[in-house]
Structure 1
Amino acid sequence: MSCKLITSDVVLCLDADDHIYKNGYMVVEDDRITEIGYQKDLDSRRKFDETVELGPRLVMPGLVNAHTHSPMTLFRGHVEGHTLFTLDGWFNTIRVLEMKIDSEMIGPGVAVSCAEMIRTGTTTFVDQYFWMDHIYPEVRKSGLRAVLAYGIVELGEETARKRELAAAAAFLESLQDDPLLTGWLGPHAFFVDNSETAMGLEKELADKYKVGFHTHFATGQEENDYCREHYGITAIQQLNKMGFLEYPIIAAHSIGIPLEDLDTVKDKPFTAVFAPSSGMRNAAGIAPLNALRAAGVNVALGTDNVTNNNSYDMFKEMAITGKIMALLERNADAIPTRYILDMATMGGARAIGMEKEIGSLETGKKADLIALDLNEIGWAPFGGQDFYAALVYAVSGYHVRDVMVNGNWLFRDNDWTSMDYLKVRGELEAKHDELMRRIKE
Structure 2
Amino acid sequence: MTNKQAVDTRIDAGWIVPVEPDGVVLPEHSLLIRDGRIVALLPWAQADAGFEAGQHQRLPDHVLIPGLINLHTHAAMTLLRGFADDLPLMTWLTEHIWPAEKRWLSPEFVYDGSRLACLEMLQGGITCFNDMYFFPEAAVQAATEAGQRIAAGIIVIDFPSNYAADLDGYLNKGLALRDAMRDHPLVSFCLAPHAPYSTSDRSLEKVLTYAKQLDLAIHIHIHETHDEIHQSLEQYGVRPIERLRHLGLLGPEFIGVHAIHLLNEEIDLLAEHNCHIAHCPTSNLKLANGVAPKAALLARGINVGIGTDGSASNNRLDCWQEMRLAALLAKGMSGKAEIVPAHYALRMATLNGARALGLDDRIGSLEVGKQADVVAVDLSGPHTQPCYDPISQLVYSAGRQEVSHVWVAGQAVVKDRTCLTLDEAEVVGRAHYWQQKLSA
Q: Contact 1:154–1:164 at 8 Å: present in 2 too?
A: no
Q: Does 1:311 align with 2:281?
A: no
Is the Cα–Cα contact under 8 Å of residues 66 and 366 in structure 2 kept in the other structure?
A: yes
Query: What displacement does 1:51 show?
Result: 1.7
The aligned counterpart of 1:417 is 420
Counterpart Cα distance in 2 of 1:128 and 1:159: 17
1:9 and 1:425, CA in 2 relative to 1: closer, same or farther beyond 3 A? same
Local SS of the residue matching 2:132? strand
CA contact (8 A) 1:82 1:93 kept: no
Matches within 5 A, 1:10-409: 10-44=15-49, 46-84=51-89, 86=90, 88-101=91-104, 102-155=106-159, 160-190=166-196, 192-222=197-227, 224-229=229-234, 232-246=237-251, 248-382=253-387, 385-409=388-412
Q: Select between 139-148 and 47-56 the one with higher mean Cα deviation.
A: 47-56
**Larger deviation: 225-234 or 288-297?**
225-234
Q: CA RMSD in A?
A: 2.1
C-alpha distance in 1, partners of 2:235/2:431? 44
Determine helix, strand or coil for the equivalent of 2:421: coil
Residue 78 of structure 1 and its aligned partner are, at CA, apart by: 1.2
Q: Which runs of 5+ in 2 are unaligned?
A: 1-5
Secondary structure at the residue paired with 1:55? strand
Query: What letter is aligned with 2:109?
Result: M
Quote the Cα distance in structure 2 between the aligned partners of 1:123 and 1:359.
10
Partner SS for 1:370 = strand
- Per-residue deviation at 1:310? 1.1
- Provide Cα deviations, 1:20-59, integer angstroms capped at 9, x if missing partner: 2111011111111010021132343632222222222111
Q: Retained in 2: the 8 A contact 1:171–1:183?
A: no
- Tell me the CA shift for residue 209 of structure 1: 2.6
Give the structure-1-normalised TM-score. Answer: 0.92
1:159–1:372 distance in 2 versus 1, CA, 3 Å? closer
Assess, with a 3 A threshold, how the Cα gap between structure 1 residues 213 and 417 changes in structure 2: closer, same or farther.
same
Amino acid in structure 1 at the alignment position of 2:103: K
Q: Which moved more, 1:276-285 or 1:241-250?
A: 241-250
3-state SS of paired residue (1:353): coil
Bigger mean CA offset, 263-272 vs 137-146 = 263-272
One-letter code aligned to 2:124 = T
Letter paired with 1:172: R
How far residue 211 of structure 1 moved from its aligned partner, in angstroms, is 1.1
User: Alpha carbons of 1:148 and 1:269: their partners in 2 closer, same or farther (altered >3 Å)?
Assistant: farther
Q: Deviations over 1:125-181 (max 9, x none)?
A: 111001112221111101111101022221599952232222222222222211111
Residue 434 of structure 2 aligns to a residue whose secondary structure is helix
Aligned equivalents of 2:268, 2:167: Cα separation in 1: 33
What is the deviation of 1:227? 4.8
Is 2:252–2:276's contact at 8 Å kept on the other side of the alignment? no
> For the Cα contact (< 8 Å) 1:346–1:359, is it kept in 2?
yes
1:269 positional shift: 4.5
8 Å CA contact 1:100–1:435 kept in 2: the answer is no
Whether contact under 8 Å (1:26, 1:33) holds in the other structure is: yes
Question: Do the aligned partners of 2:20 and 2:367 also contact (CA within 8 Å) in 1?
Answer: yes
Alpha-carbon deviation of 1:283?
A: 0.5
| Alpha-carbon separation, structure 2, partners of 1:401 and 1:142 | 17
**Alpha-carbon separation, structure 2, partners of 1:175 and 1:155:** 26
Does the 8 A contact of 2:258 with 2:280 survive in 1?
yes
Q: 2:414 and 2:360 mapped to 1: Cα distance?
A: 24
Deviation (angstroms), 1:402 = 0.4
Q: Taking structure 2 as the reference length, what is the TM-score of the superposition?
A: 0.93
Q: Hey, what's the Cα distance between the residues in 2 that align with 1:199 and 1:12?
A: 40
Q: Secondary structure at the match of 1:244?
A: coil
SS of 1:50 mapped into structure 2:
strand
| Alignment-mate amino acid for residue 271 of structure 1 | H
Deviation at 1:308, TM superposition (A): 1.5
Kindly indicate whether the alpha-carbon contact (under 8 Å) linking 1:83 and 1:283 is maintained by their aligned counterparts in 2.
yes
Q: Structure 1 residues 357 and 105 mapped into 2: Cα distance closer, same or farther (>3 Å)?
A: same
Could you tell me how far apart the structure 2 residues matched to 1:177 and 1:326 are? 42
Q: Which amino acid aligns with 2:110?
A: I
User: C-alpha displacement at 1:241, in angstroms?
Assistant: 2.5
Residues 18, 24 of structure 2: 8 Å contact kept: yes
Q: Shift of the alpha carbon at 1:425?
A: 0.9
- How many residues align? The count is 432
Output the amino acid matched with 1:99.
Answer: K
Query: What's the CA shift for 1:226?
Result: 4.8
